[in-house]
Amino acid sequence: MIWVIAGTLDGRTLAVDIQKRTGEDMLVTVVSQYGAELAAHKGITVHTGRLDQEAMQNLITEHNVRLLIDASHPYAAIVTATAQDAAKAMNIPFVRFERKEVPLPDYDKLHIVVDEVEAANLAGKLAKENNSHVYLTTGSKTMHIFAKSEALQDCEVWTRILPTAEVLQMMEDLNVSPKRIVAVQGPFSYDMNRIMFHDTKASVVVMKNSGLVGGADTKLQAAMDLGIHVIVIDRPRVKIEGHVVSSNDEFFKLWEDTNGLR
């Protein structure tokens, strides 16, 4: 069986493509029930829940996994590192599937930071020099950092999140006002991003470079055309010892060159 860690649309699409083109039995793992619903497909076994290295190795044994493909989110560095260690421990091939970054333009209000803490501090500083309105497009996983940041306490912070009960409950637990929650699933078009940034009077947009599939290009362009500050959280870098591909075509080229990675 081939296992795809599918924390993204890329991963779900790749799993279906492999199953259709090779006939291999496929295992797809996701974190949430919503993710499981999205991943459901004929010929694919779906496992839901978070996994540490021991659980990953048990899953490899249970499903007789012969190849592990990590297509988790580009910013899920811990998942990638853990999956690579699990594959190495179980002596099976490991492939990292990671979408390409969007090239960052030459823009005088573009700021690149290393993590969410630095992003929150800089967003607060820049916003207070303008109208104190900040628009977050970084998701819910690290929302606690922004919600508890002293630098943002006096700012009007808008947050775009998935509209699931689990995420909304988390926002409530963090005392985030429903008034400034935009609960809708992306990615979003240029026009929609521009309308959202404009209508919320954002002077700062915080984003990740999640690639074209993640809508990074439309966020950037909309913010630039409005002349507002853009803070980009840089991708975490995980040293990959195995193969790295960024498209289905690249994966199947690797598949052919290595006789199915056997």
Same domain, 191 and 121: yes
Same domain, 196 and 248: no
Q: Is residue 163 part of a domain?
A: yes
> For the chain, what percent of residues have pLDDT higher than 70?
99
Same domain, 115 and 85: no
Is the bond leading into 187 cis (omega within 30 degrees of zero)?
yes
Q: Is residue 173 part of a domain?
A: yes
Same domain, 145 and 56: no
* pTM exceeds 0.85, yes or no: yes
Q: Is residue 105 part of a domain?
A: no
Domain enclosing residue 89, as ranges: 2-100+237-257
Same domain, 38 and 125: no
Q: Is residue 130 part of a domain?
A: yes
Averaged pLDDT, 69-89 = 94
User: 11 with 35: CB under 8 angstroms?
Assistant: no
Same domain, 21 and 47: yes
Checking DSSP bridges between strand 204-208 and strand 133-136, what pairing results, if any?
A: parallel
What pLDDT is stored for residue 213 in this prediction?
65
Same domain, 18 and 76: yes
User: 33 with 236: CB under 8 angstroms?
Assistant: no
Domain count, the chain: 2
Going by C-alpha positions, the residue among 34, 20, 38 that lies closest to residue 252 is 20
Confidence of residue 215 (pLDDT cuts 50, 70, 90): confident
CATH of the domain at 128: 3.40.50
Please determine, for residue 214, whether its predicted confidence score (pLDDT) is greater than 70.
no
CA distance 206 to 92: 38
Same domain, 25 and 130: no
Q: What is the pLDDT of residues 165-190, one digit of tens each?
A: 989 999 999 999 999 999 998 889 99
Q: What is the pLDDT of residues 81-134, one digit of tens each?
A: 999 999 999 999 999 999 888 888 899 999 999 999 999 999 999 999 999 999
What pLDDT is stored for residue 230 in this prediction?
97
Confidence of residue 15 (pLDDT cuts 50, 70, 90): very high
Same domain, 226 and 126: yes
Confidence of residue 37 (pLDDT cuts 50, 70, 90): confident
CATH of the domain at 34: 3.40.50.720
Same domain, 228 and 245: no
Averaged pLDDT, 39-55 = 90
Q: What does pLDDT average to over the chain? A: 92
Same domain, 251 and 175: no
For residue 231, what are the β-bridge partners? 111, 206
Helix axes 248-257, 9-22, angle to 10 degrees: 40
Same domain, 88 and 190: no
Going by C-alpha positions, the residue among 80, 11, 79, 83 that lies closest to residue 46 is 11
